[in-house]
Amino acid sequence: MSVSLDDLPLRDDLRGLKPYGAPQAPLPVALNVNENTHPVPQDVADDIVDALAHALREVNRYPDREFTALRESFAGYLGHGLTRDQIWAGNGSNEVLQHILQAFAGPGRTAFGFAPTYSMYPLLTQGTGARWVAGRSGHDFTLDPAEAAAQIEAAAPDVVFLCAPNNPSGTPMHLDVIEAVYDAAPGIVVVDEAYHEFAPRDERSALTLLPGRERLVVSRTMSKAFAFAGARVGYLAADPAFIDALRLVRLPYHLSALTQAAATAALRHAPTMLRMVDDIVAQRDRISATVEALGYTPYESWTNFVLFGGVEDSGVAWQKLFDRGILIRDVGIAHHLRVTAGTEEETTAFLDALASIGSAS
């Protein structure tokens, strides 16, 4: 007799939920999950392979539990006077965020984010037994500092997630909003800077706000700018005491020796890896200009993707693009679709397909 999920003694608060599930399909052009579609440069790949080969010689031993060399590399990359004692890392930024929730949320506590925002925040919150509270952003997905602070004061959450710049809208979140939210929040404030490298170069990071703010956390990922999505490496910067709290909940030896070796090698080539960002930003801006010319409404983006409105029927348009070999994302916002900025060839294929379907309202 077959057994369904309903037949198992699942936690009551997990019943009826759906797992994270961006569509996966072997289409010629996949621009739906904000990957960096540029391959790792050959010289960087060669150095990573050498580092992995060296690490394999001692793979019979447990890795450095404190991933010391990697934390030093992240501190050097981020700058701002950070030291390894202020750095944490995990298998993708989702694990890093999960560690935060395990330490500071959990049953009887709440986590808060301004909707629409990254879809994993509520899933991670619910998975750790906490309650998700959705706040409101403006009609253009931006936040006013005073309004954001008022919402935080009313909700009094234990953990706040600020996606800066925001996903799925791509819109910037300025430091005055972060400061206002921090001053109003009774608990932890997480600034998720997964896409910070795609913001204008002269824009300050929330890392500049860390001194004197022991409840503030800035998370990053290697998946986007570093084209390392398949390696699963995320990290954060915070007060050393905050890092100590995360040690209480992490699994032993949670970062493999191979992960540590590959990420450390990639960081040695940060200038080379980040040169890809300039090309991606150029394709992003090309997408924004072209979809606007086609009659759609793109939102300002400081990321590697573009959200655009004015789509007559999101589901129909998505399917038409799918049928033409183009996979983008329907993020569940009516009359909107989201597309990742790919290579020049991928971007051209998407724009040509979009022009052919004629679905602007």
Residues 279, 234, single domain; the answer is no
Mean pLDDT by 10 residues, the chain (361 residues): 87 85 82 94 96 97 98 98 98 98 97 97 96 96 97 98 98 97 98 98 96 98 96 98 98 97 97 93 98 97 98 96 97 96 97 89 62
Three-class SS of residue 266? helix
Q: Which of 208, 234, 268 is the last residue of a domain?
A: 268
Residues 95, 243, single domain; the answer is yes
Long-range contacts of 308-312 (CB under 8 A, 24+ apart): 308/336, 308/337, 308/338, 308/339, 309/333, 309/335, 309/336, 310/335, 310/360, 310/361, 311/335, 311/336, 311/337, 311/359, 311/360, 311/361, 312/359, 312/360, 312/361
pLDDT of residue 105: 98
Domain coverage including residue 312:
22-40+271-357
Per the CB < 8 A criterion, the answer to whether 187 and 157 are in contact is yes
pTM of the model: 0.95
CATH number of the domain at 320, please: 3.90.1150.10
Residues 78, 110, single domain; the answer is yes
Give the C-alpha separation, 268 to 264, whole Å. Answer: 7
Per the CB < 8 A criterion, the answer to whether 104 and 159 are in contact is yes
Element (H or E) spanning 282, and its range? helix 270-293
Six-digit token string for 52: 């992995």
Residues 277, 294, single domain; the answer is yes
pLDDT of residue 359: 67
pLDDT of residue 24: 76
Residues with Cβ < 8 Å from 108, sequence gap 6 or more?
130
Q: Which of 229, 247, 268 is the last residue of a domain?
A: 268
Residues 322, 282, single domain; the answer is yes
In a domain, 140, yes or no: yes
Give the C-alpha separation, 339 to 332, whole Å. Answer: 13
Give the C-alpha separation, 149 to 135, whole Å. Answer: 11
pLDDT of residue 108: 97
pLDDT of residue 295: 96
Residues 65, 83, single domain; the answer is yes
Pairing mode of beta strands 305-309, 337-340: antiparallel
Residues 155, 46, single domain; the answer is yes
